[in-house]
């Protein structure tokens, strides 16, 4: 899976490309991440890519031209890339959307800053707008990293085994509880069934726990 990222802050992506699950997936060539500095597509000596909003008001708006020029360069190599703009106004991210995106070959993330981007880009140049939740963060970069991590861990070979199939939200259920050694900590015991060695019973218990936890903590998931 190829990720292109259009951003004013390419160094932020070292947070996922230097260490951890995504870094390992890059080393294994399952994922590639290429950042595109939007300022390189500015047409002025100050490398500006934003301007004042028509109609007045606070903040600056990212201009059409640099974004369009950057996208056309990306599309020379990746004509079928899906262009996703990260914004609070987009389709809200959930595991279902992660699954849909994880079958693609190439995604280009457009990371906004300032008050946002010129609406004509949203009308003409992007395929999808995605939000990571109903709150505002300072730019699309953190949101793009959330998506890359969530998509990356679903790709074959990234986690080594198929453990992402057991993540919370796969099947619309929360994950079951996990325990490790020692058996007793400050009087708290590991549930007996997990020590039984009886795999079918353990699987049943885990499934029942998943359902109970979901009912208790996220009953909305069971309505979907
Ligand atoms: N940019 C600012 N807020 C965002 C959000 N909630 N999701 C995605 N991108 C954003």
Q: What is the pTM for the complete model shown? A: 0.95
Percentage of the chain exceeding pLDDT 70: 98
CATH hierarchy code of domain 168-223:
1.10.1270.20
Strand order in the sheet with 82-92: 32-37, 2-7, 106-111, 82-92, 128-131
- Residue 85 Cβ < 6 Å to ligand 1: no
| pLDDT level of residue 115 (50, 70, 90 thresholds) | confident
| pLDDT level of residue 162 (50, 70, 90 thresholds) | low
- 192: tokens are 């007996």
pLDDT average, residue stretch 108-118: 93
Helix (H, G, I), strand (E, B) or coil at 162: coil
- What is the largest distance, in Å, between two alpha-carbon atoms of the chain? 70
**CA proximity to 130, closest of 169, 84, 168:** 84
Q: Where are the domains of the chain?
A: 2-152, 168-223
**Residue 115 known to be catalytic:** yes
Protein residue whose Cα sits closest to atom 10 of ligand 1: 87
Q: Which of 24, 153, 206, 218 is catalytic?
A: 153
Kindly report the average pLDDT of the chain as a whole number.
95
- Residue 114 Cβ < 6 Å to ligand 1: no
pLDDT per residue as tens digits for the range 31-56: 999 999 999 999 999 999 999 999 99
Q: Is the pLDDT of residue 168 over 80?
A: no
CA 56 to chain centre: 33
Any idea which fold 2-152 has?
A: Alpha/beta knot (3.40.1280)
d(CA 5, CA 38): 10
- Which residue of 7, 137, 139, 141 sits with most ligand 1 atoms within 8 Å of its CB, as the best mutation to test the pocket? 137
Tell me, what's the pLDDT at 160?
74
Q: Which of 69, 115, 149, 212 is catalytic?
A: 115
pLDDT per residue as tens digits for the range 65-105: 999 999 999 999 999 999 999 999 999 999 999 999 999 99
Q: Is the pLDDT of residue 161 over 70?
A: no
- Which residue of 86, 113, 133, 134 sits with most ligand 1 atoms within 8 Å of its CB, as the best mutation to test the pocket? 86
d(CA 144, CA 163): 23
Whole-number Å distance, alpha carbon 85 to ligand 1 midpoint, is 9
């Amino acid at each position: 899976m190829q990720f292109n990222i259009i951003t004013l802050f390419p160094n932020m992506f070292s947070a996922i490309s230097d260490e951890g699950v995504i870094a390992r997936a890059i080393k294994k060539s399952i994922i590639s991440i290429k950042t595109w500095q939007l300022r390189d597509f500015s047409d002025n000596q100050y490398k500006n890519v934003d301007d004042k909003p028509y109609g007045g008001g606070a903040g600056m708006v990212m201009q059409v031209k640099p974004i369009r020029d950057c996208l056309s360069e990306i599309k020379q190599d990746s004509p079928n890339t899906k262009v996703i703009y990260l914004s609070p106004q987009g389709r809200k991210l959930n595991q279902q959307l992660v699954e849909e995106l994880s079958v693609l070959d190439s995604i280009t993330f457009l990371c906004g800053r300032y008050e946002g981007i010129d609406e004509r880009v949203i009308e003409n140049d992007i395929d999808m707008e995605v939000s990571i939740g109903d709150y505002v963060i300072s730019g699309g970069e953190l949101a793009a990293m959330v998506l890359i991590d969530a998509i990356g861990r679903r790709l074959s070979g990234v986690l080594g085994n198929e453990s992402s199939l057991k993540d919370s939200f796969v099947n619309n259920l929360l994950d079951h509880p996990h325990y490790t050694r020692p058996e007793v900590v400050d009087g708290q015991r590991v549930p007996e069934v997990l020590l039984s060695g009886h795999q079918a019973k353990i699987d049943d218990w885990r499934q029942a726990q998943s359902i109970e936890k979901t009912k208790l903590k996220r009953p909305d998931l069971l309505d979907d």
